Structure 1
Amino acid sequence: MWDKLVRIDPLRARRYRDAGLWGPDRVDETVLAPSFSRGGELALVSGERTLTHGELRLAVNACAKRLKDNEIRRGDLVIVQLPNDIELVVLTLALSKIGAAPVLTPTALREYELDHVARITRPVAMAVPARHARYDHFALARRIRDGNSSLRTLFVSDVDSPDAVDLTELCGLPGSPGELVDGELATLDDPALCLLSNGTTGPPKVIPRLQEAYGYQLRTTPGLAGVGPGSVYLAVMPATHGFVLGCPGVLGTLGAGGTVVLGPSAEPEAAFALIEQHLVTHCTLVPALAERWADAAEDTGFDLTSLEVIQVGGARPRPGQVERIPAVLGCVVQQCYGMSEGLLNYTPTDADGDVAFHTQGMPASPADEIRVLDDSGRPVPPGGTGQLLTRGPYTVGGYYGDPDATAGAFTEDGFYRTGDLVSLHPSGSLVVEGRSRDVVNRGGEKIPAAELELLAAEHPGIAAAAVVAAPHPRFGEIVCLYVVPQGDWVPELPAVRRFLQERGLARFKLPERMEVLDEFPYLGIGKVDKTALRADLAARPS
């Protein structure tokens, strides 16, 4: 079982256990612990639907039994592609409880990425909404099932079909006291859940977050953000992303005894209404979204005075993006820098302006180890910029079922090569200076240039393709596709977007700008000169 799983070094694992960092509880037990002392208090809100902490525990236990009734067992993997709703939380915890790891997948991903994930994980089931954001996820799930023999069961919400199990009923409260899970449950060595990498070097990689390590993260991060039993966390970005799920996010807030409001939209008008209605105290945003909230808050009729902390992460803010938040939103800005593979960094909630606005935080755990190295692998001098490597009690040991990716991203002694260039602020906080990998960061979504270039080059009218980031006021960066045409083809962006979409590429990865050259500038080694392309882009009208 779990033969594709890469575990961290046993000696380090023992050290974390002996130090009391790794505890004896599974993730579902950590998250549901408040149900015994705060069972009647509100845990989840999604539209008009609510669950108390006690009801959440009952729903998770009932769902776990129903999963077993559907022949989902310990050692299985299940793709979970759901929006922010109660079913996402209940199903994730129930699967984690029985040792059938949920592979949490953003709803924006399409056939190209999902087929890749399914080939790696060999899932036995997939959970989707029938439709979401005008897209037919049920049809997508059927196509993924048809192409993957391991996938036998579809859990689908809001659909009446003999081809699917009703997801809403699966995750509902028990119909009788006897509806309790029994038999084999997850062990502490099992994955609690799997996240997807942002795919900085190609399609998404599968990141197995183990029970002990992820449980430590969920117990550690609430205190760093000031989250406790009286906190109300608003999830407006997808909770299938690690940042929103557990930093402390949805699961960390629930485990601390707080309330989670699952919002359908991050647009200021919709989010501000929820903040006023539910007295929201905490939220996580990417920098561009935080800036839009600050703009909207300048002239809003909504009462936002309950806000205490806005966490900002996913990218380093540009100058001016977050400085206004304390004044116009009336709350603390906490910068968060981390990765789905593990390491998390936070600025203190009482940090001065220089640290709060211009650095990206300090490691969450005293057991986190970081190295900042130059291109030769030597430590950089104080204040210098270098590549960040890390390992620690909640950083994974490798990717699931992908030994090549693991070998490329992890050193022999277990350090993860983040691909980020950082420097160390005198306060001890990290400053993210850039990326050593070729990606476009569109509103916190990392889009690998190489992946898009390979797909675009398959177009019969494109002789060569190159991707660079174009500045954008809302998303920070968007994809600009440079092309060299082939033959008599006349390059048109809509046609290229359709071509890429027909190949199953997620919509957020599609180019939003295209420039045409007769030939690319090259470096002496035959590599496209991206620096020259960026200079060319800067000289063109936007």
Structure 2
Amino acid sequence: MSDTYSPALPLSSGLTPWPPETAARYRASGYWDGRTLGGLLRDWTAAYGPRLAVVGGGTRLTYRQLDERADRMAAGLADLGIAPGDRVLVQLPNVPAFPVLFFALARLGAVPVLTLPAHRITEIGHLARLSGAVAYVIADEAAGFDYRTLAGQVREQAPELSHVLVAGDPGPYRALESVDAEPRAHREPDSGDVALLLVSGGTTGVPKLIPRTHDDYGYNARASAEACELDAGTVYLAALPIAHNFPLACPGMLGTLAVGGTVVLAPSPAPDAAFPLIAAERVTHTALVPPLIPLWLGTAEWDDTDLSSLRVLQAGGSKLSAEVAREVPRQLGCVVQQVFGMAEGLLNYTRSDDPADIVETTQGRPLSGDDELRIVDAEGRDVAPGETGELLVRGPYTLRGYYRAPEVNATAFTADGYYCSGDLARQLPSGHLVVEGRVKDTIDRHGESVSAEEVETHVRAHPAIAACAAVGLTDPARGEQICAVVVPAAGAAAPTLPELRAFLIARGVAAFKLPDRIAAVGEFPLTAIGKVDKRALTARLAAPAD
């Protein structure tokens, strides 16, 4: 699939809508309530105006202030020529500028493409071209990285980017805070329009774009807040990158604002950043990926920071072990809630009234009564109840097609609209799912789904490497570590791990995709049909490196 794209093409040219009769059923059932995300903020402001909405980096915004800033930024963006349907690449850390920009774009009917701070030129250049973005919003610097330099590289690859807006020191670009004008009325988007484009984990080598509508994403957040029993007293710590679906709307920022709670933006999920915020803001809820939870547990053993306000720790992004789940109440004094979901849609939560063994050993049950699940074998046939197979799903907040990806959609969706998740799961009689692994060739590192194919493509570009197979090895600190198994080029020695990582960084590969280990072999073990036998490789390499 080519990612060459013209911003002149309408957004709708790359979308797969729900069938009209299905959409009508979701509206009649009340899942889709006809409100836009920008309209929701107006409703929340009317209900909770003076209450504290957002805290971060020394800034404290009430609902009314957030609403007013979003209106002013929307007018400023319109003055720049950003129009309904325009795509805007957003790469911001957890700062108050993010929710202001998010709702400003919603007011305009423009579409944020929500990228992650860890993305680099490989991902951002591709997403800029694929989306046809007309603007790129970045931080000046974060975690020692200068995004203004990256912006220059992106503009070389996507010259149609008319604007680069910077939160902080703009350098050669325009300051985001200067995008400000007197509020005025804008044409309200249709609630069925695309509200945002989320980024997939990239299981086919490059990230895909996931279209979410105002209707379906509003339901996603609202129903999640209800399932998680959020209320006006909720103080949610966004510790993970806010552009992730998990901290954005599961229930995350949007679910918390929907009930009048407060969102606290953490610069990092590390305990030294998160623990003081929990104590100072009396945080009640937060979400982490499983590899981070042992770090929090270990720190809590000796750190005397007051974490007594914390009531719920959500765990999602990869499977949480039962052993770690049992430790959360003892070490952190809160309950753990398992969450299994995907930016493509389906969400599963354990509930507050679930027995302890269900909370510890399952990944939750579906959010919606109209989530339709099938578990199938390799031939697409439904397995017997309780057996493991690939999870297929459709429902009122699960997409019907990736954006501008017809070749991918042909295999990622069934003819009758089920999304083929690539997750291996089994379902208990209670409806709860137990996730057993992945069908697709990915490595789950620190909660990020990394395409093995993408890693292999980049590693093979090294002049001293003839072939590469990337495999995931169990790692208690990361969930899985990325091991690049390489066959050196004739007459060459394999690079060291630091040499390989430096080479990949120079190619613009994101840090979370860099190998944690390299192993040189003379040849790969092969399956009966001549494919690399990754199961055999993994077994051979499972022992820790010396």
SS in 1 for 2:434: strand
CA–CA distance in 2 between the matches of 1:532 and 1:85? 45
Letter in 2 for 1:296: T
What residue in structure 2 maps to residue 517 of structure 1?
Answer: 521
Aligned twin of 1:56: 66
CA 1:13/1:283 → structure 2, altered by over 3 Å: closer, same or farther?
same
Secondary structure of the structure 1 residue equivalent to 2:423? strand
Structure 1 residue 225, shift from structure 2 partner: 1.1
SS at match of 1:212: helix
Could you report, residue by residue, the CA deviation over 1:47-96 in whole angstroms, capped at 9, with x for unpaired residues?
A: 21110011111011111111101110001000000000111111011112
CA contact (8 A) 1:74 1:185 kept: no
> What amino acid does structure 2 have at the position aligned with 1:496?
L
Partner in structure 2 of residue 166 of structure 1: 175
Of 224, 228, 239 in structure 2, the residue corresponding to residue 225 of structure 1 is 228
Corresponding residue for residue 7 of structure 2:
none
Paired residue type of 2:286: C
Structure 1 residue 536 corresponds to structure 2 residue 540: yes
Q: CA distance change for structure 1 residues 539 and 234 in 2, over 3 Å: closer, same or farther?
A: closer
Normalising by the residue count of structure 2, what TM-score does the alignment of the two structures yield? 0.96
User: What is residue 425 of structure 2 aligned with on the other side?
Assistant: 422
CA contact (8 A) 2:313 2:335 kept: yes
How many angstroms does 1:202 deviate by?
1.2
Displacement of 1:255 after TM fit? 1.6
Tell me the SS of whatever aligns to 2:107.
helix
CA offsets 1:255-280 (integer angstroms, 9 cap, x no match): 21100000012111321111110010
**Runs of 5+ in structure 2 lacking a partner?**
1-9
What is the distance in 1 between the residues matched to 2:186 and 2:62? 26
1:127-146 pair list within 5 angstroms: 127-146=137-156
Gaps of 5+ in 1: none
Sequence identity, in percent? Answer: 44
Following superposition of structure 1 onto structure 2, how do residues 311-460 of structure 1 map, counting pairs within 5 Å?
Answer: 311-460=314-463
- The question of 1:468 aligning with 2:475 is answered no
Flag the 1:541–1:460 CA change in 2: closer, same or farther, 3 A.
closer
Which secondary structure does the structure 2 equivalent of 1:356 belong to? helix
Which residue is 2:504 aligned to?
500
Match of 1:16 in 2: 26
Q: Distance in 2 between matches of 1:199 and 1:181?
A: 39
Report the count of equivalent residues. Answer: 535
Output the TM-score relative to the length of structure 1.
0.96
Q: Where does 1:44-83 land on structure 2 (aligned, <5 Å)?
A: 44-83=54-93
Q: Aligned-pair distance for 1:539?
A: 4.2
Tell me the secondary structure at the aligned position of residue 321 of structure 1: helix
Distance apart, 1:419 and its partner CA = 0.2
Q: Higher mean Cα deviation, 48-57 or 183-192?
A: 183-192
Give the AA of the match of 1:126.
Y
Residue 119 of structure 1 aligns to a residue whose secondary structure is: helix
Distance apart, 1:136 and its partner CA: 1.1
Distance 1:160 1:207, change over 3 A: closer
Alignment of 1:238-277 (within 5 A): 238-277=241-280
Task: Check the 8 A contact 1:484/1:519 in 2, yes or no.
Answer: yes
| Aligned residues of 1:345 and 1:362 also touching (Cα < 8 A) | yes
The CA deviation at 1:405 is: 1.5
Match of 1:190 in 2: 193
Specify the code of the residue in structure 1 equivalent to 2:513.
K
Residue type at the aligned position of 1:275: I
Q: Deviations over 1:179-225 (max 9, x none)?
A: 21323232212211110001122111011101111111111110111
* Offset of residue 285 of structure 1: 0.5
Q: Which letter maps to 1:166?
A: A
C-alpha deviation, 1:464, in angstroms: 0.9
Q: What is the distance in 2 between the residues matched to 1:153 and 1:185?
A: 24
Which stretch shows the higher mean deviation, 90-99 or 294-303?
294-303
Q: Classify the secondary structure of the residue corresponding to 2:116.
A: coil
Task: Name the stretch that deviates more: 341-350 or 424-433.
Answer: 424-433
Give the AA of the match of 2:452: A
Residue 31 of structure 1, CA deviation:
3.8
State the one-letter code of the partner of 1:125: A
> By how many angstroms is 1:19 displaced?
1.1
For 1:300, the equivalent position in structure 2 comes to 303
Match of 2:4 in 1: none
**2:127–2:207: 8 Å Cα contact kept in structure 1?**
yes
Identify the residue that residue 151 of structure 1 maps to in structure 2: 161
Conserved? CA contact 1:84–1:263, under 8 Å:
yes
Amino acid at match of 2:128: A
Match 1:43 to one of 10, 34, 53? 53
Alignment of 1:104-119 (within 5 A): 104-119=114-129
The AA in structure 2 aligned to 1:311 is Q
- Provide the rounded CA distance (Å) in 2 between the counterparts of 1:158 and 1:516: 44
Separation in structure 2 between the aligned mates of residue 426 and residue 19 of structure 1, nearest angstrom: 25
Could you say what secondary structure the match of 1:138 adopts? helix
Q: Is the 8 A contact 2:321 2:361 kept in 1?
A: no
State which drifts further: 489-498 or 414-423.
489-498
What secondary structure is seen at the aligned counterpart in 2 of 1:324? helix
Contact 1:346 1:360 in 2 (8 A): yes
The answer to whether 1:278 aligns with 2:303 is no
219-228 or 1-10, which moves further after superposition?
1-10
Q: What is the Cα deviation at residue 498 of structure 1?
A: 1.8
Distance 1:68 1:244 in 2: 28
Q: Residue 250 of structure 1: CA displacement?
A: 0.9
Change (3 A) 1:510 1:160: closer
Report if the CA contact (8 A) 2:41-2:67 is conserved: no
Q: How far has the Cα of 1:427 moved from its partner?
A: 2.4
SS in 1 for 2:302: coil
Cα deviation per residue 1:201-254 (whole Å; 9 max; x = unaligned)? Answer: 211101110111111111111011121111000011100110011001011111
CA–CA separation in structure 1 for the residues paired with 2:199 and 2:254:
17
* SS of aligned partner of 2:263: strand
Contact (CA 8 Å) 2:350, 2:365: kept in 1 or not?
yes
Residues 204 and 454 of structure 2 are in contact (CA less than 8 Å); yes or no, is this contact kept in structure 1? yes
> Is the contact made by 2:321 and 2:360 (CA closer than 8 Å) also made in structure 1?
no
Q: Secondary structure at the match of 1:298?
A: helix
